[in-house]
Amino acid sequence: MVLLIPKSLEEGEGLPEAEAETATGIENPSGISFQKKLIAFIVSFSVFLLLWQLVANESGNSLIVAGPLPVFQSLVNLLQNHIPLIARGAETADSAILETLEVIVLGFALSVVVGIPIGIAAGLYRSVEGVVEPWVSVVYSIPIVALVPVIYYGIGASFTADVLIAFLFSVFTIIINTQNGVRYMSNSLAEVGRTYGATSWQFITKIVVPASTPDMVTGMRIAVGRAILGAVLAEALIGETGLGGLMMIFQATFSTSYMMAAVVLIAIMGILVLQVPKILEHRLFKWKETERLARM
Amino acid sequence: MQSQESPSELLSSEPILRVEGVAKSFPKRQSGGKEEIIKVLEDVNFELKGGSFTSIIGPSGCGKTTLLRIVDGLLKPDAGRVIFNGEVVTTPPTRMGFVFQQFGLLPWRSVLKNVEFGLELRGTDPEERKEIAQKYIDIVGLRGYENNYVHEISAGMQQRVGLARALSIDPDVLLMDEPFASIDMQTREILQRQLLQIVKASVPKTTLFVTHNVDEAVYLSDEILLLGTHPAKVREVVKVELPPKRWTYDLRSQQEYTRLRQKIWKFLEKEIMERGGFGSFDPQEP
Ligand SMILES: Nc1ncnc2c1ncn2[C@@H]1O[C@H](COP(=O)(O)OP(=O)(O)O)[C@@H](O)[C@H]1O
Ligand SMILES: [Mg+2]
């Protein structure tokens, strides 16, 4: 709460300005929608904090559930690299954050670089689809968590193993969404390309890719979330490094409020990382604007 | 401007495009799961003289689009061939422009970038292609909309973009597949007039225009090919001998216009009633 209040005030600085503009008759829909979203967020967040506090009171044991205030205190300590004595030897928070970020970014980037070409090829060619589809079904029908020990015994507890798991968690989502985008692209667009003499490469870069970009970005947005999941899971289950590792160490040492602070850190990082495809979407799809649902 | 020339003098006698014995069938799935072969085109023959405006008219679903796609090399005929500029067409020729019924614009591109598309594929240098595209944007009357996205402009304007894109590659033959079919009546009339001004005066083109609209065919064409159905074949070639520069006078009040209109409509009506599966129609029946 202590952190939230100055933050919301800071963001609220834009409000009087937006009101002034609407008062003078200048439409400012983005200002209004921002206000609405902010209020909705503050309400839902307060309800969340309240429920959290209630659950903590009910359990009556801060080793099982720590309330929001101790967790916030632990978060501040963590960020200043003050860790409980019992968990000494754990990584400092900033290096843990950095490491986890690296795993996410590398795993995700790898799955984009690998997934998009495979998805395009699978969308365009039946033969590639025939190769890819069974594997996608297999990976979707078994939990990827089951692969973690296999990778652990295969290449050992290492940074590479974490990246590989983040990659495996996200790549199939990108392949499937890209393939769908290409598969359901309108044939008349393809015909336009042919009529005006597009080479195969031009056809892919100037028609197929832009036409399926909305689906690719949707895939990426889901994939980022899955890469985060994969990274934290890998860190928690093998090697105990990064934020996932930190979380496990605090749990093992009964530093519950610190463990939950680590979870909060992971959540914050996830929210920040998830903004990237959102920004990308906004910039890339100005041409789709009127096709969007008008919201209240 | 050579204003006193009659249309026949404007047309060169050498055909620029010749369609010889073209046939095409499609498999059609029956309700029982069996496949039946439907003959869509059979022994289609015609030719385009340089500078002419030729329309193909036929009932909906008779195979007009199929024929145009074969002419453009997008579809292989089962028999026969298309000869364009002395060569057999196998893939879309660089010197043919195509205007699509559903516009076929790329929604992620601006008006300018859509018009540039054909030149871009050809590797024309960016400065030059922008200049050329701008020229045709001006010709079709879209100056000021260069940076708009496709969804921001009306259907009529979208088809102007389609036309500018086809013209910008400087085609020898312009193929148009019912380009105004999904555009409202008032806009359509204006577009028809402007199209005629463009392909008969501003940038003279040989045009092959597909339509199912009788008025449109008579107003625009020097020659109309009447396409029968099941399978489609050129049944008759109707010459439209009305004075040139048709956008300068009220064509629709001319006797010849009314005569041609009735003649073509009779043909279409007969095709639709006899072969379109309507059977004998008795208005007295309850
Ligand atoms: N690719 C295709 N596969 C199967 N049937 C087709 C195909 N294209 C066209 N047809 C059939 O050929 C007939 C003529 O279609 P089309 O050329 O689009 O007619 P029009 O343009 O005159 O309305 C229709 O019955 C249509 O169903
Ligand atoms: Mg058609």
Give the three-class secondary structure for A72: helix
Over chain B, what is the mean pLDDT? Answer: 88
Q: How far apart are CA A154 and CA A150, in angstroms?
A: 6
Q: How far apart are CA A266 and CA A259, in angstroms?
A: 11
Least Cα separation, residue B165 to chain A (angstroms): 10
Residue A7: its pLDDT value, please? Answer: 35
Residue A282: its pLDDT value, please? Answer: 75
Residues of chain B with CATH 3.40.50.300: 7-95+173-279
> In sequence order, what are the residues at sequence separation of 6 or more whose Cβ sits closer than 8 angstroms to the Cβ of residue B240?
B218, B221, B222, B223, B224, B256, B260
Sheet strand arrangement including B35-49: B35-49, B15-29, B79-84, B87-88
Least Cα separation, residue B194 to chain A (angstroms): 24
What does pLDDT average to in each consecutive run of 10 residues of chain A (296 residues)?
35 37 47 84 92 86 82 88 74 84 94 96 93 86 80 83 91 93 92 94 95 90 91 86 86 86 89 81 70 61
Indicate the residue type of B155: A
Number of residues in chain B:
286
CATH class of segment(s) B7-95+173-279: alpha beta
> In sequence order, what are the residues at sequence separation of 6 or more whose Cβ sits closer than 8 angstroms to the Cβ of residue A5?
none
Choose among B114, B96, B118: nearest CA to B168.
B118
> In sequence order, what are the residues at sequence separation of 6 or more whose Cβ sits closer than 8 angstroms to the Cβ of residue B139?
B164, B167, B198, B202, B203
Average pLDDT over residues B153-163: 94
CATH number of A93-281: 1.10.3720.10
User: Is the minimum CB–CB distance between A187 and chain B shorter than 8 Å?
Assistant: no
**Ligand 1 test: best mutation among B66, B71, B72, B212, most atoms within 8 Å of CB?**
B66
User: What's the per-residue H, E or C state across B133-185?
Assistant: HHHHHHHCCCCCCCCCEHHHCCHHHHHHHHHHHHHHCCCCEEEEECCCCCCCH
Residue A5: its pLDDT value, please? Answer: 35
Gyration radius of chain A's alpha carbons: 23
Residue A63: its pLDDT value, please? Answer: 75
Least Cα separation, residue B137 to chain A (angstroms): 18
Pocket lining: B61 vs ligand 1, CB cutoff 6 Å: yes
Q: Classify residue B271 as exposed, middle or buried by CB count within 10 Å of its CB (0-12, 13-18, 19+).
A: buried
Q: How far apart are CA B251 and CA B258, in angstroms?
A: 9
Triad A161, A165, A166: Cα angle to 5°: 120
Choose among B106, B107, B133, B109: nearest CA to B119.
B133
Q: Which residues of B51-82 are buried (b: 16+ CB within 10 A; e: fewer)?
A: bbbbbbbbbeebbbbbbbbbbbbbeebeebeb
Indicate the residue type of A84: P
Contacts of B94 in chain A (CB under 8 A): 197
Q: How far apart are CA A176 and CA B136, in angstroms?
A: 41
User: Is the minimum CB–CB distance between B150 and chain A shorter than 8 Å?
Assistant: yes
CA distances from A38 to A87, A271, B196 (A): 38, 15, 57
Q: How far apart are CA B172 and CA A281, in angstroms?
A: 41
User: Is the minimum CB–CB distance between A209 and chain B shorter than 8 Å?
Assistant: no
Percentages (nearest 5) of helix, strand, coil residues in chain B? 35, 25, 40
For B169, the closest chain A residue by CA position comes to A196
Q: Which residues of B177-196 are buried (b: 16+ CB within 10 A; e: fewer)?
A: bbbbbebeeeebeebbbbbb
Number of other residues whose CB lies within 10 A of the CB of residue B253: 8
Give the ipTM of the model, two decimals please.
Answer: 0.85
Pocket lining: B147 vs ligand 1, CB cutoff 6 Å: no
Q: How far apart are CA B100 and CA B163, in angstroms?
A: 9
Residue A175: its pLDDT value, please? Answer: 94
Give the three-class secondary structure for A191: helix
Whether the CA torsion B3, B5, B11, B13 is positive or negative: it is negative
Q: Which tens digits make up the pLDDT trace of B165-217?
A: 999 999 999 999 999 999 999 999 999 999 999 999 989 999 999 998 999 99
Triad A12, A16, A17: Cα angle to 5°: 105
The domain segmentation of chain A, as residue ranges, is 93-281
Answer yes or no: do B106 and A291 touch at CB < 8 A: no
* Token pair belonging to B189: 């009339």
Q: Torsions phi, psi of A41, nearest 5?
A: -65, -45
C-beta separation of B229 from B59 below 8 A:
yes
C-beta separation of A147 from A169 below 8 A:
no
C-beta separation of B151 from B159 below 8 A:
no
